[in-house]
A and B are shown apart, each in its own frame.
Chain A
Amino acid sequence: MRWVTTTNHKDIGTLYLLFALVMFFVGGAMAMVIRAELFQPGLQVVDPQFFNSMTTVHALVMIFGAVMPAFTGLANWLVPMMIGAPDMALPRLNNFSFWILPFAFTLLLSTFFMDGGGPAGGWTLYPPLSLQMGEGFPFLIFAIHLAGISSIMGSINIVVTVLNMRAPGMTLMKMPLFVWTWLITAYLLIATMPVLAGAVTMLLTDKFAGTSFFSAAGGGDPVMFQHIFWFFGHPEVYILILPAFGIISAIIPTFARKPLFGYSSMVYATASIAFLSFIVWAHHMFTVGMPVVGELFFMYATMMIAVPTGVKVFNWVSTMWKGAMTFETPMLFAVGFIIMFTIGGFSGLMLAIAPADFQYHDTYFVVAHFHYVLVTGAIYSIMAAAYYWLPKWTGNMYDEKLGQIHFWVSTVSVNVLFFPQHFLGLAGMPRRIPDYSVQFTDWNVISSVGGFVFGLSQLLFAYVVIKCIRGGEKVDDQVWEGADGLEWTLSSPPPYHSFTEAPQIK
């Protein structure tokens, strides 16, 4: 019962993180089905409709069920500790926004058992395809509504906490970057999730209430859905990466034993990424038949985002430059993040070239791009954060040896999994297809093998986490020699209410 009614930021943070871990394995199991089917050309394992629902629900579960709740859980645990507050500003709202999530995902997953099966039109829900779903369609829409409401409320809570609950002396420009990136992420969420909610509501009324927002027969336009969706969708991809930037900006200085290089430029870079993310959405739609000026505008605007992103990578590298570095597991994941996220950034730049995108669009090249930024980007940052702060949260050190093994097995296998998908895409293999021509076989076999190894190695992660929660070598308050920040002044594990008395800020 304690867990159901709790309003404590640490309890709720834990709930979010465990929920995200469960969803990570649910979505991961679907990815295993996808890779099993693509192991060989032809149809072997599942029928095409089910395959398509696997790609669709895998994406929805990973984005809305794993990555976003994991970041919210980290924010719940860390934001009050980092700004010297006793708890979140709106504790009851906090409880509510978590407990919506299990219902949302039960609804989503229950569609598999309904007539017509789960959603199979892609996570982007483009009509008219998405409207052809069976009985489960309204459940899909309500699941998205609920997940959206949950993350909007979680974001409002974070904004209010950061604005009102800072300890005296904790000025905005003294806040750790994780708090900054989350503040900006929360604004992005508040500005874009309602737009998604509107778009899916229009789908719902198009299907059941006779409106024709997206039906040409009634004067609507299906391409308009793509515009509205990506007006949400592109900021959404930054929602999935900005908190990661904050995490990496905390971990790199600790293990390089140097303060972060260019703090204020990091803040401005984050803000400008957030601003630019609203004016680039049509780079997902280069092939819908835009006029040349439109193509050019969205092409240049997209390339401009690479500038502040480059500033960040430059700052991280400069922080490590001549630092006294050690490579504990969190640092391994952080360095892995920088290298592999940058690979994803480069393939993004290739996709941003409008004429080239006509060839790459909807191929495995895009799949490779977004898995480099999301798996070796967002997910790696979450793993890094888990290893970095678990000793603080539990008071126990995790198993360093197993952590290192987890990193190396994951990193080798994830590249075996996703790097060949670049080649497949360039050679013309389309995404979201259960069968393929035989010339794509070799790279698919390799990719699937990498996939299975990567999937299995995540069980090791779950094992290390559980082992650490249950016990281990005790750690002191500081935990990491080079760590800096208010959370390290609290005991390990920290008291139930973080700072009942405001701390002194230097």
Chain B
Amino acid sequence: MNEGLQQKNGRSFLRVGLVAVAMFGFGYLLVPLYDVFCEITGLNGKTGRIDEAAVVARYQPDLARSVTVQFVANNNLGMPWEFGPVVASMQVHPGKIYSTAFKARNPTTRDMVGQAVPSVAPGKASRYFNKTECFCFSQQPLAAGETKEMPLRFIVDPNLPKDVGTLTLAYTVFDVTQVAVN
């Protein structure tokens, strides 16, 4: 192979190789892109969080309409806590703040830390479900054998699409003791 061609090949190698490196970066870029996409479209069942003070200014209670909110609790694999809602469902008026609670008990003999992750179904309703206070906003420590009632305050946006009559709020509680220690 002559020298000129060899140099040309070397340059092409670098150029195409750069594409490969850039695509590795693109793989990581997909992570924030995914979050942004979910936020804009309101997909993925992620619920909102707003200030209690802002609520009064923003929403008018819609007393003519009432929707059912169901509460579901799950444990992630290997999480030994007894975890569940205090009431299984509530009738609520959109635009009004309600309170309820979930109960958790740590039946083990060691102190643990849990993190609850919420999700709302149907997915398209999730952006209309806002919480002003939730135990899922932070990690929850439970000492060995301790039981705790964990409060939740929420409001359903009156703009909730008319065809949605039932919302399901599901929590999965994860064992994050290891992470919390580190």
Contact = CB atoms under 8 A, between A and B. Distances in A.
Interface of A: 86-87, 89-90, 93, 128, 152, 156, 159-160, 163-165, 190-199, 202, 210, 213, 215-218, 221, 223-224, 227-228, 231, 289-291
A164 B5 CA distance: 8
B117 A198 contact: no
Given A152-B20, A159-B12, 19 more contacts: A87-B1, A89-B13, A156-B13, A156-B16, A160-B9, A164-B5, A191-B19, A194-B20, A194-B27, A195-B24, A195-B27, A202-B28, A210-B182, A217-B76, A217-B174, A217-B175, A221-B34, A224-B30, A224-B34
Interface string B37-78: 000010111000000000000000000000000000000110
Nearest to A192: B23
A86 to B, nearest CB: 7
B26 to A, nearest CB: 7
Contacts of B179: 210, 217-218
Helix, strand, loop or mixed for chain A's interface? Answer: helix
B27 A228 contact: yes
B39 to A, nearest CB: 12
B20 A156 contact: yes
B17 interface: yes
Interface of B: 1, 5, 8-9, 12-13, 16-17, 19-21, 23-28, 30-31, 34, 41, 43-45, 76-77, 115, 117, 123-124, 172, 174-176, 179, 182
Contact of B34 (A87, A164, A198, A227): A227
A164 B6 CA distance: 10
Sorted nearest first, the 4 A-B pairs with minimum C-beta distance are A198-B27, A217-B174, A194-B24, A194-B23
A31 B176 CA distance: 39
Contacts of A128: 77
Contacts of B124: 291
Contacts of A194: 20-21, 23-24, 26-27
A8 B174 CA distance: 55
27 contacts: A90-B9, A93-B13, A156-B20, A159-B16, A160-B9, A163-B12, A165-B5, A190-B20, A194-B26, A194-B27, A195-B23, A195-B24, A195-B27, A198-B26, A199-B27, A202-B28, A213-B31, A215-B174, A216-B76, A216-B174, A217-B176, A218-B115, A218-B176, A221-B34, A224-B30, A289-B45, A291-B43
Nearest to A190: B20
Nearest to A88: B9
Contact of B30 (A89, A217, A218, A227): A227
Contacts of A202: 28, 31
Contacts of B13: 89-90, 93, 156, 160
Contacts of A152: 20
B136 to A, nearest CB: 11
Contacts of B174: 215-217
A14 to B, nearest CB: 21
A216 B136 CA distance: 12
B44 to A, nearest CB: 7
A160 B19 contact: no
Given A217-B176, A224-B34, A291-B124, A197 B12 contact: no
A160 B24 contact: no
A411 B102 CA distance: 61
B49 to A, nearest CB: 13
A202 B31 CA distance: 10
A190 B1 CA distance: 26
A177 to B, nearest CB: 22
Nearest to A216: B117
A197 B123 contact: no
Contacts of A213: 31
A218 B115 CA distance: 8
A130 to B, nearest CB: 13
Best-surrounded residue of A89, A159, A191 (most CB of chain B within 10 A): A89
Nearest to A294: B43
Contacts of B27: 194-199, 228
A198 B21 CA distance: 10
A196 B24 CA distance: 8
Contacts of B1: 86-87
Best-surrounded residue of A87, A192, A291 (most CB of chain B within 10 A): A291
B26 A216 contact: no
A296 to B, nearest CB: 14
Nearest to B27: A198
Contact of A217 (B26, B45, B117): B117
Contacts of B19: 190-191
A298 to B, nearest CB: 14
A156 B34 CA distance: 29
A231 B21 contact: no
A194 B174 CA distance: 31
Contacts of B5: 164-165
A224 B24 contact: no
Contacts of A160: 9, 12-13, 16
A228 B19 CA distance: 18
Nearest to B76: A217
Contacts of A216: 76, 117, 172, 174
B142 to A, nearest CB: 15
A228 B29 CA distance: 10
Nearest to A152: B20
B8 A193 contact: no
A156 to B, nearest CB: 5
Contacts of A191: 19, 23
Nearest to B12: A160
B24 A198 contact: yes
Contacts of B25: 198
Nearest to A87: B1
Contact of A156 (B17, B43, B175): B17
